[in-house]
């Protein structure tokens, strides 16, 4: 009996001293296997995502959706699916979209999302009316700095903040800009970011101009935005890869748009990894308490 | 398996593996990748600022003899570089003071409004809060949470009487907040790993569709 007890605590001791590289390797396998042998999960949209979707869905034809692509390649897996899902939603509902970047490294990602989604729509288009046309249905304004200049300036005149678009066209010559002048013509502005930029939009654009703000945030930041949803300063939010997957699900269900769903595809791995981490936390705590008791 | 023949994909994949190699231990391969990332990001930013900001909004108009007052602004901005000359490094205070003054003036009133007044309003319980039982319940929980958490950070009096249980309750709310943040952090980091693995398996090796 004594030997058995000794062996039992020996295992716990070994577990607490386990080389972190073994834990990394196991986590790597837990993430890897569902990617190779996936199982599809159906994300159920939570209230913040649903609110954002519903608000965008009801944007009137004379107003537009602004997407502020404020993330950089390091947060691309979490945030890029959000931009793609928003563009799919807007284009399938014929909602005008203005795209800008506050973060310089977001330009390439914004361009990639635009190319991906416009190709998806225009591939099946038969007429110009069916197509998604640059300058009519959407505009890519590009980048402007410092952060307060575009955020405050767009409240007065968007064309003044972005005299030329990303491609070098004069913005005031574009058909889109004839009806979209400033925040009064914006249904909602969604800031997708892995940094504090959505706070700038809340503090300056929402507080001063009353424009509706949506947030697409990395999961790390998500908890910081909940008080703003509660106060109504943020209309809706997608948080992390799960938020993106929920939005993808809504776009597929309600807009009948079927495309590659990067975030949803990753949810199997995400779930497996979460279960694995929960197991390791539980084992770690049990071994901690057993060893503590033994020390006493 | 359909391995990519695109050299850019190969470069990305090798650099990704280089960064991952840090999980084993610090090594020269990792350091090369890290320095490349810093250098390229800075190079990209500097080039972009030059072509998209300085050229069209400063250099070109001034070269055409328009908006000559921009020269003064450019000189003030250039004072940032005096940091590198110890004798006149004090001049850096001028642009810093302007930026701070502008920043504080623009942000203080709005930040108070957005982060304090609006948040306080959202915490106050009124009759309209109880439109539904569910909403009313959450409003009460939020109200108690705010009061308890603030009382935990109230250090001007010894924790006795009502302050003692209230501050303990505050700890529970704070811990719940930390737990939520930690859970979200795990999700974020796993998402990034999934993103890179998807790239390696799909775009590089062609193992998954």
Residue in chain B nearest A266 by alpha carbon: B194
Q: Which residues of B touch A230 (CB under 8 A)?
A: 122, 142
Residues A186 and A281 placed together within one structural domain of the fold: no
Q: Is the ipTM of this complex over 0.90?
A: no
The residue among A206, A162, A201, A205 whose CA lies nearest residue A181 is A162
Residues A17 and A145 placed together within one structural domain of the fold: no
Q: Which residues of A touch B119 (CB under 8 A)?
A: 227, 231
Total domains in chain A come to 2
Q: For residue B108, what are the contacts with CB-CB under 8 A and spacing of at least 6? A: none
Inspect the interface and report whether the beta carbons of B106 and A148 lie closer than 8 Å. yes
Residue in chain B nearest A231 by alpha carbon: B122
Residues A32 and A71 placed together within one structural domain of the fold: no
Q: Which of B41, B185, B187 sits opposite A270 (nearest CB)?
A: B187
Residues A58 and A197 placed together within one structural domain of the fold: yes
Look at residue A6 in the predicted model and tell me its pLDDT.
52
| DSSP helix/strand/coil, A1 | coil
Residue in chain A nearest B197 by alpha carbon: A32
Residues A51 and A121 placed together within one structural domain of the fold: yes
Is there a contact between A153 and A200 (Cβ–Cβ < 8 Å)? no
| DSSP helix/strand/coil, B86 | helix
Residues A21 and A117 placed together within one structural domain of the fold: no
Residue B80 has pLDDT above 60, yes or no: yes
The residue among A54, A63, A58 whose CA lies nearest residue A237 is A54
Look at residue A2 in the predicted model and tell me its pLDDT.
46
Distance from CA of A4 to the nearest CA of B (A): 35
CB pairs under 8 A between A and B: 124
Q: How many CB atoms lie within 10 A of CB A29?
A: 11
The residue among A239, A30, A37 whose CA lies nearest residue B190 is A30
Percent of chain B that is helix, strand, coil (3-state, to 5)? 85, 0, 15
Instruction: Domain ranges for chain B, please list them.
Output: 124-209
The dihedral sign for the CA sequence A211, A217, A220, A226: positive
Residues A24 and A52 placed together within one structural domain of the fold: no
Q: Does A60 touch chain B (CB under 8 A)?
A: no
Q: Which residues of A touch B24 (CB under 8 A)?
A: 21
Q: Which of A28, A38, A240 sits opposite B188 (nearest CB)?
A: A240
Look at residue A40 in the predicted model and tell me its pLDDT.
79
Q: Which of B117, B187, B198, B205 to mutate to test the interface with A (most CBs of A within 10 A)?
A: B187
Pairing of strands A64-70, A96-101: parallel
Residue B33 has pLDDT above 60, yes or no: yes
Q: Does B186 touch chain A (CB under 8 A)?
A: yes
**Residue numbers of A between 194 and 253 with CB closer than 8 Å to B:** 202-204, 206-208, 218-223, 227, 230-233, 239-242
Residue A94 belongs to domain spanning? 47-260
Residues A175 and A85 placed together within one structural domain of the fold: yes
Angstrom distance (rounded) from CA A134 to CA B48: 23
**Residue numbers of B between 8 and 67 with CB closer than 8 Å to A:** 23-24, 41, 44-45, 48-49, 52-53, 56
Convert the pLDDT of each residue in B149-196 to its tens digit. 999 998 888 888 889 999 999 999 999 999 999 999 999 999 999 999
Look at residue A7 in the predicted model and tell me its pLDDT.
54
DSSP A164: B
Residues A154 and A253 placed together within one structural domain of the fold: yes
Return the CATH number at A101. Answer: 3.40.50
Q: Which of A152, A170, A203 to mutate to test the interface with B (most CBs of B within 10 A)?
A: A203
Mind spelling out the 3-state secondary structure of A209-234? HCCCEEEEECHHHHHHHHHHHHCCCC
Residues A25 and A136 placed together within one structural domain of the fold: no
Strand partners, A65: A97, A188
Distance from CA of B50 to the nearest CA of A (A): 12
Look at residue B5 in the predicted model and tell me its pLDDT.
94
Residues A30 and A53 placed together within one structural domain of the fold: no
Q: What is the pTM of this model?
A: 0.88
Residues of chain A with pLDDT under 50: 1-2, 4
Q: Which residues of B touch A265 (CB under 8 A)?
A: 198
Residues A173 and A239 placed together within one structural domain of the fold: yes
A42 in any annotated domain:
no
Q: Which residues of B touch A281 (CB under 8 A)?
A: none
């Amino acid at each position: 009996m004594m030997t058995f007890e000794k062996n039992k605590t020996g295992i716990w001791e070994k577990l607490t001293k386990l080389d972190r590289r073994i834990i990394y390797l196991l986590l790597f396998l837990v993430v890897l296997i569902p990617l190779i042998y996936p199982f599809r999960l159906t994300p159920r949209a939570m209230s913040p995502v649903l609110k954002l979707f519903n608000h965008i869905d009801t944007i009137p034809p004379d107003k537009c959706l602004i997407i502020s692509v404020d993330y950089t390649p390091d947060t691309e897996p979490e945030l890029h699916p959000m931009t793609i899902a928003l563009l799919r939603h807007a284009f399938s509902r014929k909602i005008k979209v203005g795209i800008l970047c506050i973060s310089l490294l977001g330009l390439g990602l914004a361009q990639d999302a635009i190319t991906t989604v416009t190709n998806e729509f225009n591939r099946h288009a038969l007429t110009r009316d069916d197509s998604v046309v640059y300058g009519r249905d959407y505009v890519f304004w590009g980048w402007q700095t410092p952060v307060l200049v575009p955020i405050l300036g767009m409240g007065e005149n968007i064309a003044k903040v972005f005299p030329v678009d990303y491609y070098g066209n004069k913005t005031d010559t574009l058909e889109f800009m004839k009806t979209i002048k400033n925040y009064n013509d914006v249904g909602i502005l969604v800031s997708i970011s892995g940094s504090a930029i959505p706070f700038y939009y809340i503090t300056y654009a929402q507080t001063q101009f009353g424009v509706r703000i949506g947030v697409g945030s990395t999961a790390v930041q998500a908890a910081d935005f909940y008080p703003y949803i509660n106060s109504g300063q943020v209309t809706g939010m997608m948080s992390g890869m799960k938020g993106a997957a929920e939005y993808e699900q809504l776009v597929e269900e309600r807009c009948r748009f079927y495309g590659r769903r990067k975030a949803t595809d990753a949810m199997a791995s995400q779930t497996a990894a979460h279960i694995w981490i929960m197991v390791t936390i539980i084992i770690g705590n049990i071994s901690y308490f057993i060893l503590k008791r033994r020390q006493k | 398996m359909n391995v990519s023949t695109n050299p850019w994909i190969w470069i990305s994949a090798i650099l990704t593996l280089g960064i991952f190699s840090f999980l084993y231990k610090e090594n020269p391969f990792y350091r090369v990748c890290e320095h490349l990332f810093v250098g390229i990001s800075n190079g990209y930013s500097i080039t972009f600022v030059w072509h998209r900001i300085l050229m069209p909004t400063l250099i070109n108009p001034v070269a055409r003899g328009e908006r000559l007052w921009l020269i003064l602004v450019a000189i003030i901005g250039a004072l940032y570089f005096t940091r590198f000359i110890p004798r006149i490094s004090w001049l850096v205070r001028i642009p810093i003071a302007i930026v701070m003054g502008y920043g504080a003036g623009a942000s203080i009133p709005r930040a108070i409004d957005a982060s304090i007044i609006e948040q306080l309003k959202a915490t106050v319980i009124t009759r309209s809060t109880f439109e539904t039982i569910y909403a009313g319940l959450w409003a009460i929980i939020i109200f108690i949470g705010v009061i308890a958490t603030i009382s935990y950070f109230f250090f001007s009096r010894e924790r006795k009487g009502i302050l003692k249980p209230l501050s303990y309750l505050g700890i529970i709310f704070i811990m719940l907040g930390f737990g939520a943040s930690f859970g979200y952090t795990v999700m974020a980091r796993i998402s990034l790993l999934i993103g890179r693995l998807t790239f390696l398996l799909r775009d590089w090796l062609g193992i998954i569709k």
